[in-house]
Amino acid sequence: MNLTDTPEEEEFRARLRQWLGRALPALPPKPSPDDWPGRRAYDLGWQSSLYDAGYGEVHWGSTPTMRLIFLEETEKAGAPYVGANFVGLLHAGPTIAAEGTPEQRERWLPPILRGDEVWCQGFSEPDAGSDLAALRTRARRDGDDYVVTGSKIWTSHAEVADWCELLVRTDPDAPRHRGISWLAMPMDAPGITVRPLRTLAGSAEFAEVFLDEVRVPVANRVGDENDGWRVTMVTLSFERGTAFVGEVVACRRALRELAVEARKNGRWDDPVLRRRLGRLNAEFRALWRLTQWNVSEAELGGGVPGVGGSVFKLRYSHARQELYDAAADVLGPESLDLDRPWVLDRLSSLSYTIAAGTSQIQRNIVAERILGLPKGR
Amino acid sequence: MRFQLTDDQVALRGGVREMLARRFGPEALRAAVEEPGRLDRTLWRELGAAGFFALRLPEAAGGVGLGLPEAVLAFEEAGRALLPGPLVATHLAAGEVPGAATGETVVTAVGNGLVEWLAGADVVRGDGGAVGAVPLRSVDPLTPLHRVPTGMGVPPVAVLLTAAEQLGSATRACELAVQHARTREQFGRPIGAFQAVQHLCAEMLVRTETARAAVYAAAVTADPADIGTARLLADEAAVRGARDCLQVHGGMGFTWEFEVHLHLKRAWVRTHRAGPATESEENLAAELLADPV
């Protein structure tokens, strides 16, 4: 067991720090959260500079440890996160890389890496959330096209995406996991209607996407027809790897800022509050160690994230909500002011125990797949 | 970075587990409970011969020459097996108190107002020794306790090794709960098929594995904030793990016969050995202000 960089890792870290020191001051000002075209341009611009500097493929072309170092250093330096590139870099891209034909890889991967194209995800449906295999969006074969009808929900960046990784039902009579296919749908195809959804934090972070007889070329199917469930599981396992590295680093910084604020406004004198922050410090220190543990495990296991991801996500999503509840305790009545720091974060954090598998579903996964308990009901 | 056990560390952990299963299995545990206060000196010397106490002593001084990570793995196994005796104090005395390293001398230490195994030990370490010690009717049948009028704490390594024992105990409690949930049937199916039971077990694993990362990291860095973190998380994993294990076992969990009460009671003793949790919390709060944001 060790926690020190190898010479190779040390060199990678040092070079990255140097580059960040030069690249970050040259960044344009951050666009407002409601400015979607601005956000798209900003996020793509950042990916483009990463590409030019040789970091374009870091999310899935490098080893888990290098990815950990990349995410740790960029977050520490205050660099932008993937933003609108999230689905392209962390879902669709890895799926195409693993399951696509050479032509498909050639068509879709370079624009993702260069920061030219944005992807969104059409998986969840109004009646298929945690139970994703219940999805009903139909794709009927018509010559060289699929004709797709149905609706998708919780689709982030749908307004500005070029492509959608879409799960559709191609065989309604097959057992539900065996009648699904994975398609790359161009977002400018006729028949697509995007309706933004406002979150409880007040901003439009995702959308509903209605599909009415949308034609998608059969050539845009990745993997075999009706094999989309397996293809999708490849994608989902990427999400549970190093996806939260930057966020844990950000939480540890937020906690330090919170302590400074408490000291400034006098709340620090309350031993109950102090101990609450002390316990949160332990919590996030441990979560950082668990991240390092899981990354080393993935590294030794050939880059495939292990089941430890569910354990991490359960603990982390809860801890992050606790962090912002503690922030509200520090702020007192000012925690009701949306213009104060951490207040919007507190609202956003309510999604963490829901998104990418609710905590309840995660506990089922831990119980059945890790502990080997019988299938629940 | 390679934050996983090395092959040697896996082998060491397996070796200690195997030795303890052989020398301190369920029957020996039950026998020890029926004879409270009696320390098995033969077993103690065997532990000494196996290098349990001399693990971190340099080879030149007759030790095994290993480090804190290896000691943590050995103590994790001791916690898992509920091995009784002042293990931490004797391990810390190796090389300082004659006979401690070999298991000839049993050493206990005063810390945080308590002293464990006073009557069974040959040497008492700590400020003022055991002057004014008053026996308690110990809640843990496998840890005789005295109160002492000194508030002196214990060294950080003792806190870490105690956390390692808590980790082993938490791991064991989770395993026992899962075994029971798989086999015990009610309403025509194993109780582990009910989500309410599944979620209890899942949370036990989450607490244990998070604590494991914290304890192992503290063993690698020996950093005071890492040790404080390890201690808080391991205490939580052990105490709540034993409670939930007890709950999963239903009425059986409330019996003297079933071992879970021994895990819970020992976990309580260990939380006090390491001093007040509030102190660790305060230290970790202060650490937040130590470095500039």
| A274/B181 CB distance under 8 A | no
Residue A242 has pLDDT above 80, yes or no: no
| B213/A295 CB distance under 8 A | no
What local confidence, expressed as pLDDT, does residue B215 receive? 98
Backbone angles phi, psi at A236, to 5 degrees: -65, -30
The pTM of the full predicted model, rounded to 2 decimals, is 0.95
What local confidence, expressed as pLDDT, does residue A303 receive? 57
What local confidence, expressed as pLDDT, does residue B220 receive? 98
B8 touches chain A (CB under 8 A): no
Residue B129 has pLDDT above 90, yes or no: no
* Gyration radius of chain B over CA positions: 19
Question: How far is the C-alpha of A92 from the C-alpha of A163, rounded, in Å?
Answer: 9
How many domains does chain A divide into? 3
Cα dihedral A127/A316/A76/A49 (nearest 10): -20
Architecture of the domain defined by B7-147? Orthogonal Bundle (1.10)
Question: How far is the C-alpha of A377 from the C-alpha of B13, rounded, in Å?
Answer: 37
Structure tokens of A238? 């990427």
Task: Looking at the structure, tell me whether residues A353 and A249 fall in a common domain.
Answer: yes
Nearest to A296 among B4, B203, B287 (CB): B4
Q: Would you say B244 and B293 are in contact if contact means Cβ atoms under 8 Å apart?
A: no
Structure tokens of B197? 């039971």
A358 touches chain B (CB under 8 A): no
| Alpha-carbon distance B239 to nearest alpha carbon in chain A (angstroms) | 16
Nearest to B285 among A281, A300, A315 (CB): A281
Contacts B286 to A, Cβ<8 Å: 278
List, for residues B25-42, the tens digit of each pLDDT value. 999 999 999 998 999 999
Closest by CA to A161, choosing from A206, A103, A118, A102, is: A118
Question: How far is the C-alpha of A324 from the C-alpha of B284, rounded, in Å?
Answer: 18
What are the extents of the domains in chain B? 7-147, 156-290
B227 touches chain A (CB under 8 A): no
Neighbouring-strand partners of residue B135: B146
Structure tokens of A154? 């919780």
Tokens 């305060």, residue located: B282
List, for residues A54-75, the tens digit of each pLDDT value. 999 887 778 889 999 999 999 9
Task: Looking at the structure, tell me whether residues A129 and A183 fall in a common domain.
Answer: yes
- ∠ CA B83-A372-A181, nearest 5°, is 150
Task: Looking at the structure, tell me whether residues A106 and A123 fall in a common domain.
Answer: no
What local confidence, expressed as pLDDT, does residue A340 receive? 95
- ipTM exceeding 0.85, yes/no: yes
Q: List b or e across B185-219, with b for residues whose CB sees 16 or more CB atoms inside 10 angstroms.
A: eeeeebbbbbbebbbbbbbbbbbbbbbbbbbbbbb
SS3 state of residue A32: coil
Q: Is A283 a catalytic residue?
A: no
Average pLDDT, whole number, for chain A? 93
Burial class for B224, CB neighbours closer than 10 Å (0-12, 13-18, 19+): middle
- Positive or negative, the CA dihedral B86, B91, B93, B95 is positive
- Positive or negative, the CA dihedral A292, A294, A300, A305 is negative
Q: How many CB pairs under 8 A join A and B?
A: 181
What local confidence, expressed as pLDDT, does residue A307 receive? 64
Question: How far is the C-alpha of B250 from the C-alpha of B136, rounded, in Å?
Answer: 30
Closest by CA to B245, choosing from A308, A371, A284, A374, is: A371
What percentage of chain B carries pLDDT values higher than 70?
99
What local confidence, expressed as pLDDT, does residue B293 receive? 53
Q: Would you say B155 and B227 are in contact if contact means Cβ atoms under 8 Å apart?
A: no
| Alpha-carbon distance B288 to nearest alpha carbon in chain A (angstroms) | 5
CATH number, domain with residue A124:
2.40.110.10
Question: How far is the C-alpha of A324 from the C-alpha of A258, rounded, in Å?
Answer: 10
List, for residues B74-118, the tens digit of each pLDDT value. 999 999 999 999 999 999 999 999 999 999 999 999 999 999 999
Residue of A69, A258, A270, A373 best to disrupt the B interface, most CBs of B under 10 A: A373
Tokens 């694993």, residue located: B205
Task: Looking at the structure, tell me whether residues A130 and A108 fall in a common domain.
Answer: no
B165 touches chain A (CB under 8 A): no
What local confidence, expressed as pLDDT, does residue A237 receive? 60
CATH number for the segment(s) B156-290: 1.20.140.10
Contacts B2 to A, Cβ<8 Å: 1-2, 296, 299-300
Beta strand B114-116 with B145-147 is antiparallel
List, for residues A140-199, the tens digit of each pLDDT value. 999 999 999 999 999 999 999 999 999 999 999 999 999 999 999 999 999 999 999 999
In a domain, A22, yes or no: yes
In a domain, A376, yes or no: no
Task: Looking at the structure, tell me whether residues A342 and A252 fall in a common domain.
Answer: yes
Nearest to B287 among A281, A289, A297 (CB): A281
Beta strand B114-116 with B107-111 is antiparallel
Average pLDDT, whole number, for chain B? 96
| A259/B288 CB distance under 8 A | yes
Residue of A62, A280, A290, A294 best to disrupt the B interface, most CBs of B under 10 A: A290
Helix axes B277-290, B224-248, angle to 10 degrees: 140
| B6/A366 CB distance under 8 A | no
CATH number, domain with residue A52:
1.10.540.10
SS3 state of residue A283: helix
Task: Looking at the structure, tell me whether residues A211 and A275 fall in a common domain.
Answer: no
> Tell me, what amino acid is at A32?
S
Among A226, A249, A276, the domain-final residue is A226
List, for residues A273-321, the tens digit of each pLDDT value. 999 999 999 999 999 999 999 999 888 876 555 567 889 999 999 999 9
Task: Looking at the structure, tell me whether residues A276 and A358 fall in a common domain.
Answer: yes
Among A79, A99, A114, the domain-final residue is A114
Among A164, A195, A226, the domain-final residue is A226
Burial class for A137, CB neighbours closer than 10 Å (0-12, 13-18, 19+): buried
Higher pLDDT, A203 or B246: B246
Tokens 């002593």, residue located: B57
In a domain, A2, yes or no: no
Question: How far is the C-alpha of A167 from the C-alpha of A163, rounded, in Å?
Answer: 13
Structure tokens of B293? 């944001």
pLDDT band for position A357 (cuts 50, 70, 90): confident
Residue A367 has pLDDT above 70, yes or no: yes
Parent domain of A337: 240-370
Strands of chain A (E only): list them: 119-122, 138-142, 145-156, 163-169, 180-186, 192-197, 206-217, 221-222
In a domain, A233, yes or no: no
Residue of B167, B221, B229, B244 best to disrupt the A interface, most CBs of A under 10 A: B229
Which chain A residues in 78-117 lie under 8 Å from chain B, judged by CB atoms?
none
Task: Looking at the structure, tell me whether residues A94 and A127 fall in a common domain.
Answer: no
Task: Looking at the structure, tell me whether residues A145 and A265 fall in a common domain.
Answer: no
| B214/A289 CB distance under 8 A | yes
Task: Looking at the structure, tell me whether residues A245 and A222 fall in a common domain.
Answer: no
Neighbouring-strand partners of residue A216: A146
Question: How far is the C-alpha of B242 from the C-alpha of B236, rounded, in Å?
Answer: 10
